[in-house]
Amino acid sequence: MKSSVYECSIVHLPKIHNEAGNLTALDNQVNIPFDVKRVYYLYDVPGGAERGGHGHKNLQQFIMALSGSFDVLIDDGINKKVVHLDRPYIGLHVVAGIWRELINFSSGAICLVLASEKYTEEDYLRDFEAFKIFKH
Ligand code: TYD
């Protein structure tokens, strides 16, 4: 699969602001570049813990820091990028075929993940060497 980290994009979401606070809405194919089939979130991540450490064959993700902050390392087997997420109105679209690691979680961070597919272990590439073979 030829996907590259340069196809992964940072998306600034609309913020509806009034004196009572902010609201951000997420719509399939409008600001989320796929149809969401699953939502999950990471929380109570211990200091120093690393999440991710895998790639996906078909699944795309939209990753947001709803609270706190963390870094997302993305790697297509050739190029790498690090994206710091720390705002609930900014998301990272990770296309299929990208290795990702989530690190440097702040205390109390909540990572929201929107996924383009239902959960199946078959879609995971959990070994980096197998991931690189998949990419070629
Ligand atoms: P994993 O995707 O490896 O988490 P992370 O990338 O955040 O480190 O999933 C951790 C565990 O949770 C693994 O045993 C699979 C399971 N899991 C589900 O059962 N359903 C899901 O939707 C997800 C994302 C994971």
Rounded mean pLDDT of 34-44?
Answer: 98
Residue 48: pLDDT band by 50, 70, 90 thresholds?
A: very high
Taking CA atoms only, the protein residue closest to ligand 1 atom 2 is: 52
Atom of ligand 1 nearest to the CA of 121: 15
Residue-wise pLDDT for 63-106, tens only, equals 999 999 999 999 999 999 999 999 999 999 999 999 999 999 99
**The pLDDT of residue 126:** 97
Split into its structural domains, the chain has a count of 1
**The pLDDT of residue 136:** 86
* Structural domain of 119: 5-135
Hey, which of 119, 121, 124, 127 would you mutate to test ligand 1's pocket, going by the most ligand atoms within 8 Å of its Cβ?
119
* Alpha carbon distances (Å) from 52 to 30, 57, 66, 106: 26, 14, 17, 16
**The pLDDT of residue 1:** 82
CATH number at residue 82: 2.60.120.10
Active site residue 84: no
